Amino acid sequence: MAADAHQAKHFEEGLKGASETVAEFHETKSPLKRIQHWLHQTPSAVPMIVLVAALIVFGLLSDNFFKAATLSTILQQIAIVGILGCAQTVVILTAGIDLSVGAIAVFSSVLMGQMSFRYGIPAELSILIGLALGTGMGAINGLLIAFLKLPPFIVTLGTWQVLLASNFIYSANETIRSADVKESAPALQLWGLSIQPGGVRVLFAVFLLIVLVAIMAYVLRQTAWGRHVYAVGDDPEAAALAGVKTRAVLVQVYALAGFFCAIAGWVMIGRFGSVSPTASTGQLGNIQSITAVVIGGISLFGGRGSIVGMFFGALIVGVFEMGLRLVGTDPQWTFFLIGVLIIFAVGVDQWIRKAAA
Amino acid sequence: MTREPILKGRNLVKRYGKVTALDHCDFDLYPGEILAVIGDNGAGKSTLIKAVSGAVAPDEGDIFLDGKKINFTSPIDARAAGIETVYQTLAMSPALSIADNMFMGRELRKPGFMGKVMRQLDRPAMEKFARAKLNELGLMTIQNINQAVETLSGGQRQGVAVARAAAFGSKVIILDEPTAALGVKESRRVLELILDVRSRGIPIVLISHNMPHVFEVADRVHVHRLGKRLCIIDPKRHSMSDAVAYMTGAKVPEDMNEFA
C-alpha cells in the first residue's frame, strides 16, 4: 500500500543533485542552424533572395532590363496571377488546394459582363453581383470540403470543370467586344486605367494587387482569424481541440478565395478590354497561381509561409519571362527554369521543416 | 460525504456503431481534489473524458457542473464554462509560436480602433501573459516566447500545454496522460505542477497509466472498466496491485462505493 508509493518515490532519489532546470531553451549556434532558424521565422526570405539575384543577373545581361517601363510591364503582367495567388495562398495555408481559381475568375468576369449587356443592369451593380457570385462559388468549394470532408483536390478539380463548362454554356461562347464595354460599361474596365508618372504607365491593377497583398499580410499575421487559418493548415485536430471553429474557417477561406478570383475576373476585363469566356486564365490560372505560391515558399502541406512570399514568387515568374525575352533566348527556357525553381522551393521547404524539429 | 461534486456525470452512454464505449457510466469530481481515472486500454477512459470536456456528445445521460445541467457541443463550450483539457496529443499547432498557441481560440485584441475595427491582435499583452504564466509555474526560462512550438522538446511542449490549461482553467482541469511522453525529471516537474494547481483550489482529473504517479498525487482513484465506473478507491488504503487487479478484472472489489 503506502510502501508501494514509497518505493515509487525511492527510485527518483537519484535525481538529487541533478540540474533543477527543466526545459531550457538553447539557442542553436552553428551558422547553418541559424540560417535554418532564420528561414523558419522568415519564410519569404528565400524567394526574396532569388528575386534579387534574378534582377541583378538580368540587369547585367540586358541593358534594357532596368528601365522603369520594363519593370512596370512586369508588374502589369503579374497582376492577375498575383491576385489569383492571394486566393491560392489562403487556401494552401489550410493545407488545401484550389484548382478552380481560374474558372471562377473567368466565369465571374463573364457574369459581370452579361449582367450589364444581357440584362441592362448598371455596370457598378453588375460588378457587385459578379463579386458576390464568385464568393458563392468559392463557398460551395468550402462547404463540400468542410462538411462533406471531400479532398480539396477532388472538389476543386470537379468545380473547375463544372464552372468552366457553365461559363461556356451561359455565355454561348460569345465575347463582349472591348469597344462596347468601353462605351456602355466603362466601370468594368476600371483596373485597366493607368497613371503615368514621368511617362511610365502604371496600371491601377498593379496598385490593387499591392494593396490586396498588404491587406492579406496584415489579416494573416495580425488577426486571430489569420492565426486560425495557419492553425487549421498546421494540424486541424489540434486547432479544433484548442477551440478553433475549423469548418467555419475552411468555408470562409474558400469563399474569400472565390472573392479574390472574382476580383481577378474584374481585373481581366480591364487588362484585356473585352469580356471573353475563352480567356486562357480559365485553364491556366490554377497552375500559374500554384506556381507563384510554391516558389514563394508557402508549404503545400499547410500552415507555413507568407503571402508576401507569394508576391515575390509571382514577381520571380514575371522577371524570368521578361528577362529571358529581353536576353533573346528561346522562351521555353522560362518554363524550364520555373520548373527547376518549383522543385528547389519545395526542397527548401522540406529542409526548413526538418531543421525546425 | 455530503459535499456536492463540482463536475458530475450520470448514466453516460456513448456508442460508436456497435461498440459501446460508455455504458451507463457515472462520474464525480469534488472541489479541490485530484481524481485519477485509471483503466485498461479500451475501457472507455478517453471517451469519458471527451464527454465531460465537450469533445464528444454523449448519446444518453446528464452532465452537471456546479449542480447545473450542462450540454456541451464543443470543447469551446466546456472552456467557456471553465473546464480546460490537456489532451494527450497536446492540441498545439507546431508551426505557431508559444504565445499564439496559448491564446489559440481566445486571442486578445488591441483596445480601441485597432482592435475593434481592424481586429488587430494585442501581441505584446499576449506575450507578456504567456511569459508570466510559464514563469509562474516555474516551468522554464524563456528566451523567446515567439519560438515555434515544434522547436521545443516533448517536455517543454507538455509544460506549455499544462501552463495553458492552468492559466485559463477556472473550474476544472483535465489532464490526459500528462507524463506519458516525459522523462523522469520532466515527469516530476509536471507532478509538482499538478499539486501546485490543486493548492490553488482547482480540482484536477488525471488520466494516467502510471500507477506510481497516480498513487502519489491522487486523492481518489476512479477505476474504469468495460465502459463504466467499477469502483472508487482510496489510494492510501489500497495498493497499486489492487488497483491493477480491479481494472483488469483479476479481482472484484468488495465494496463498490466505499469511497464515493
- How confident is the model over B103-150, as pLDDT tens digits? 998 889 989 888 888 899 999 999 999 888 888 776 655 567 888 888
Q: Are residues B148 and A42 in contact, defined by beta-carbon separation less than 8 angstroms? A: no
Q: Are residues A84 and A285 in contact, defined by beta-carbon separation less than 8 angstroms? A: yes
A10-27: average pLDDT = 54
The residue in chain A having the minimum alpha-carbon distance to the alpha carbon of residue B117 is A223
The residue in chain A having the minimum alpha-carbon distance to the alpha carbon of residue B100 is A227
Residue A2 confidence class, pLDDT cut points 50, 70, 90 = very low
For the ranges A113-117, A166-170, B114-118, B214-218, the lowest mean pLDDT is seen at B114-118
Whether B216 sits inside 8 A of A238 (CB atoms) is no
Residue A282 confidence class, pLDDT cut points 50, 70, 90 = very high
Residues in chain B: 260
Which of B89, B105, B156 lies nearest to residue A244, judging by beta carbons? B105
Is the pLDDT reported for residue A4 higher than 70?
A: no
- On whether residue A167 sits in a domain, the answer given is yes
A150: cell is 471531400
Residue A19 confidence class, pLDDT cut points 50, 70, 90 = low
A63-85: average pLDDT = 93
d(CA B220, CA B85): 19
Parallel, antiparallel or unpaired: strands B172-176 and B83-86: parallel
d(CA B63, CA B52): 7
| Higher-confidence position of B3 and A237 | A237
What share of chain B in percent tops pLDDT 70? 95
Number of Cβ pairs < 8 A linking chain A and chain B? 142
A39 in contact with B at a CB cutoff of 8 Å?
no
Helix (H) or strand (E) holding B233: strand B228-233
Which residue of A16, A237, A241 is the best one to mutate when testing the B interface, meaning the one whose CB has the most B CBs within 10 A?
A241
Phi and psi at residue B239, in whole multiples of 5°?
Answer: -95, 165
Which of A1, A8, A244 lies nearest to residue B104, judging by beta carbons? A244
Residue B260 confidence class, pLDDT cut points 50, 70, 90 = very low
The label of the residue with cell 462520474 reads: B27
| Higher-confidence position of B84 and B186 | B84
Which 1-30 residues of chain A touch chain B by CB within 8 A? 1-2, 4-5, 7-9, 12, 15, 18, 21-25, 27
| Higher-confidence position of A185 and A38 | A185
User: What are the structural domains, with CATH classification, of chain B?
Assistant: 7-95+148-248 (3.40.50.300)
Q: Single out the residue of A251, A256, A252, A258 nearest to residue A134, CA to CA.
A: A258
A134-150: average pLDDT = 97
d(CA A205, CA A76): 7
The predicted structure's pLDDT at residue A89: 98
A45-62: average pLDDT = 92
- On whether residue A3 sits in a domain, the answer given is no
The predicted structure's pLDDT at residue A110: 97
On average, the pLDDT of chain B sits at: 87
Is the pLDDT reported for residue A22 higher than 50?
A: no
- On whether residue A277 sits in a domain, the answer given is yes
Which of B89, B107, B189 lies nearest to residue A238, judging by beta carbons? B89
d(CA B183, CA B157): 13
Distance from CA of A70 to the nearest CA of B (A): 36
Q: What's the CATH number where A195 sits? A: 1.10.3470
Distance from CA of A260 to the nearest CA of B (A): 20
Residues in chain A: 357
- On whether residue A334 sits in a domain, the answer given is yes
For the ranges A29-33, A211-215, A282-286, A307-311, the lowest mean pLDDT is seen at A29-33
The predicted structure's pLDDT at residue A15: 58
| Higher-confidence position of B206 and B2 | B206
d(CA A171, CA A165): 10
| Higher-confidence position of A3 and B16 | B16
Residue A143 confidence class, pLDDT cut points 50, 70, 90 = very high
Is the pLDDT reported for residue A324 higher than 60?
A: yes
Which residue of B104, B134, B186, B210 is the best one to mutate when testing the A interface, meaning the one whose CB has the most A CBs within 10 A?
B104
For the ranges A14-18, A76-80, B61-65, B229-233, the lowest mean pLDDT is seen at A14-18
Which of A1, A230, A356 lies nearest to residue B93, judging by beta carbons? A230
Distance from CA of A166 to the nearest CA of B (A): 38
Q: Are residues A238 and B93 in contact, defined by beta-carbon separation less than 8 angstroms? A: yes
Distance from CA of A234 to the nearest CA of B (A): 6
ipTM at complex level: 0.84
Residue B221 confidence class, pLDDT cut points 50, 70, 90 = very high
Q: Single out the residue of A84, A155, A139 nearest to residue A254, CA to CA.
A: A139
Distance from CA of A317 to the nearest CA of B (A): 28
Q: Single out the residue of B229, B156, B158 nearest to residue B194, CA to CA.
A: B158
- On whether residue A30 sits in a domain, the answer given is no
- On whether residue A20 sits in a domain, the answer given is no
Whether B185 sits inside 8 A of A22 (CB atoms) is yes
What share of chain A in percent tops pLDDT 70? 91
The residue in chain A having the minimum alpha-carbon distance to the alpha carbon of residue B215 is A5
Residues in B closer than 8 angstroms to A304, CB to CB, are 95
Whether A5 sits inside 8 A of B151 (CB atoms) is no
Is the pLDDT reported for residue B207 higher than 70?
A: yes
Whether A23 sits inside 8 A of B139 (CB atoms) is yes
Distance from CA of A111 to the nearest CA of B (A): 32
Whether A23 sits inside 8 A of B119 (CB atoms) is no
Residues in A closer than 8 angstroms to B150, CB to CB, are 356-357
SS3 annotation, chain A: CHHHHHHHHHHHHHHCCCCCCCCCCCCCCCHHHHHHHHHHHCCCHHHHHHHHHHHHHHHHHCCCCCCHHHHHHHHHHHHHHHHHHHHHHHHHHCCCCCCCHHHHHHHHHHHHHHHHHHHCCCHHHHHHHHHHHHHHHHHHHHHHHHHCCCCHHHHHHHHHHHHHHHHHHHHCCCCECHHHHHHHCHHHHHHHCEECHHHCCEEHHHHHHHHHHHHHHHHHHHCHHHHHHHHHHHCHHHHHHCCCCHHHHHHHHHHHHHHHHHHHHHHHHHHHCCECCCCCHHHHHHHHHHHHHHHCCCCCCCCCCCHHHHHHHHHHHHHHHHHHHHHCCCCHHHHHHHHHHHHHHHHHHHHHHHHHC
HSE at residue A99, side-chain half, CA atoms within 13 A, is 14
Domain count, chain A: 1
- On whether residue A169 sits in a domain, the answer given is yes
On average, the pLDDT of chain A sits at: 90
Distance from CA of B201 to the nearest CA of A (A): 24
Q: Are residues A108 and A134 in contact, defined by beta-carbon separation less than 8 angstroms? A: yes
Q: Are residues A95 and A238 in contact, defined by beta-carbon separation less than 8 angstroms? A: no
For the ranges A161-165, B57-61, B164-168, the lowest mean pLDDT is seen at B164-168
Is the pLDDT reported for residue A231 higher than 90?
A: yes
Parallel, antiparallel or unpaired: strands B68-70 and B60-65: antiparallel
Which of A9, A27, A243 lies nearest to residue B105, judging by beta carbons? A243
Is the pLDDT reported for residue B183 higher than 90?
A: no
| A71, A150, A152, B14, B215 from B44: Cα distances, Å | 65, 30, 34, 9, 21
| One-letter amino acid for residue A335 of the chain | F
Helix (H) or strand (E) holding B154: helix B154-168
- On whether residue A275 sits in a domain, the answer given is yes
The whole domain housing A276 covers 43-356
The predicted structure's pLDDT at residue B154: 76
Residues in A closer than 8 angstroms to B87, CB to CB, are 241
Parallel, antiparallel or unpaired: strands B7-16 and A202-203: unpaired
| Higher-confidence position of A331 and A41 | A331
Could you please report the per-residue DSSP string of B177-207?
Answer: STTTT--HHHHHHHHHHHHHHHHTT--EEEE
